[in-house]
């Protein structure tokens, strides 16, 4: 009996030892750098740039007297729900759209300084205010980027847009109302438009061989579908395709600077290149230009006449 008991005890000890060794090995296993867990951690890295703020910054700034909060989705959408204290505007309100149609020469481009001064004054967009703009981020058209891009060209310094846009602000608990703020009149004087980051059709034609052209539209647009009244379908010759929506992660926030830089470089862009972005009407492409600039691709320009004009007067590829 004693012999059997001893053998049984030894067997139990051996089994326990093997089990402990196995558990020890499992505890030592570490996730690979490119594992899904690691990728999730990397995805949480926020985008950083001079024109970007996160929702926590907005939340802390709502009580500032000098703050001007702009809902770039336009009045009709804002009246269904916007952030408390926000005024509403559409990009068209400060662009050449009234006396011509899409595809006409200079349609959708920045207003001349005198007219722009009047529009900005009536909208209360004072250069001395801190201006924070938001739109629908991944689910929108980059309207906030277009307005910000234009304000920068008009000489505004203290302008930002919200990472994640309206949905991120709602999720963060910012107060939502159905009444938009009435803008206070301002005295705005625009002396000139800085064209550092913009280009028109004539200039693009002259420099085409020396630039890299980036189409930021959706796949179906790039591949030839006409969805918005374009004269014909296709894309500019040799255009690199980086979609506007590629800028965002699944949560609707901007991907990190490193991740976006990898996308740009893998697509064939270099920080030394002269880059021209375009979309249908220069809206999504204005947003893309700002992101490129903040990632170090500083010699980037938005073609604000964009595909509407190019396909009306020049050849395209399908």
In-domain check, residue 81: yes
User: Are 170 and 60 part of one and the same domain?
Assistant: yes
pLDDT score at 37: 41
User: Are 59 and 154 part of one and the same domain?
Assistant: yes
pLDDT score at 45: 87
In-domain check, residue 86: yes
In-domain check, residue 206: yes
pLDDT score at 7: 39
Distances (CA, A) of 305 to 67, 101, 230: 31, 11, 12
pLDDT score at 218: 98
User: Are 167 and 58 part of one and the same domain?
Assistant: yes
User: Are 170 and 58 part of one and the same domain?
Assistant: yes
pLDDT score at 43: 45
What are 55's two structure tokens?
A: 């929702």
pLDDT score at 39: 43
Question: In a structure prediction context, what are the per-residue pLDDT tens digits for the chain, which is 318 residues long?
Answer: 444 443 334 443 434 433 333 333 333 333 333 333 444 444 468 999 999 999 999 999 999 999 999 999 999 999 999 999 999 999 999 999 999 999 999 999 999 999 999 999 999 999 999 999 999 999 999 999 999 999 999 999 999 999 999 999 999 999 999 999 999 999 999 999 999 999 999 999 999 999 999 999 999 999 999 999 999 999 999 999 999 999 999 999 999 999 999 999 999 999 999 999 999 999 999 999 999 999 999 999 999 999 999 999 999 999
In-domain check, residue 7: no
Domain span including residue 242 = 198-313
From 148, 177, 206, the end of a domain falls on 177
User: Are 133 and 234 part of one and the same domain?
Assistant: no
The rounded distance, in Å, linking the Cα atoms of 271 and 273 is 6
Q: Are strands 176-177 and 82-83 parallel, antiparallel or unpaired?
A: antiparallel
From 147, 177, 207, the end of a domain falls on 177
CATH number of the domain within which 117 lies? 3.40.250.10
Inter-residue contact 66 to 130 (CB < 8 Å): yes
Number of structural domains the chain divides into? 2
pLDDT score at 25: 35
From 177, 207, 234, the end of a domain falls on 177
In-domain check, residue 272: yes
Return all residues near 54 (Cβ < 8 A) that are at least 6 apart. Answer: 46, 162, 163, 164, 168
The rounded distance, in Å, linking the Cα atoms of 181 and 103 is 34
Return all residues near 4 (Cβ < 8 A) that are at least 6 apart. Answer: none
User: Are 133 and 245 part of one and the same domain?
Assistant: no
């Amino acid at each position: 009996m004693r012999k059997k008991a001893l053998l049984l005890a030894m067997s139990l000890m051996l089994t326990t030892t093997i089990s402990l060794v196995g558990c020890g090995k499992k505890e030592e296993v570490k996730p690979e750098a490119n594992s899904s867990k690691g990728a999730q951690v990397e995805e949480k890295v926020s985008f950083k740039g001079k024109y970007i703020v996160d929702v926590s910054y907005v939340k802390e700034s709502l009580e500032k007297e000098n703050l001007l909060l702009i809902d770039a989705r336009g009045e009709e959408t804002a009246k269904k729900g916007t952030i408390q204290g926000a005024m509403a505007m559409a990009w068209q309100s400060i662009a050449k759209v009234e006396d011509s149609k899409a595809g006409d020469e200079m349609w959708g481009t920045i207003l001349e300084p005198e007219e722009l001064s009047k529009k900005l004054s009536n909208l209360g967009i004072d250069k001395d205010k801190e201006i924070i703009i938001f739109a629908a981020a991944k689910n929108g058209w980059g309207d906030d980027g277009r307005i910000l891009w234009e304000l920068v060209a008009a000489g505004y310094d203290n302008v930002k847009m919200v990472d994640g846009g309206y949905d991120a602000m709602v999720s963060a608990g910012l107060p939502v109302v159905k009444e938009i703020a009435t803008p206070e009149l301002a005295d705005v004087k625009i002396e000139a438009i800085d064209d550092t980051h913009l280009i028109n059709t004539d200039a693009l034609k002259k420099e085409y061989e020396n630039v890299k052209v980036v189409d930021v539209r959706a796949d179906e647009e790039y591949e030839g579908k006409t969805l918005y009244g374009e004269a014909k379908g296709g894309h500019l010759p040799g255009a690199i395709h980086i979609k506007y929506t590629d800028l965002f992660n699944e949560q609707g926030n901007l991907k990190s600077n490193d991740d976006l830089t990898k996308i740009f470089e893998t697509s064939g862009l270099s920080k030394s290149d002269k880059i021209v972005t375009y979309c249908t009407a220069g809206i999504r492409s204005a947003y893309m230009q700002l992101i490129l600039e903040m990632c170090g691709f500083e010699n980037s320009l938005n073609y604000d006449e964009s595909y509407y004009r190019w396909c009306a007067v020049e050849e395209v590829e399908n």
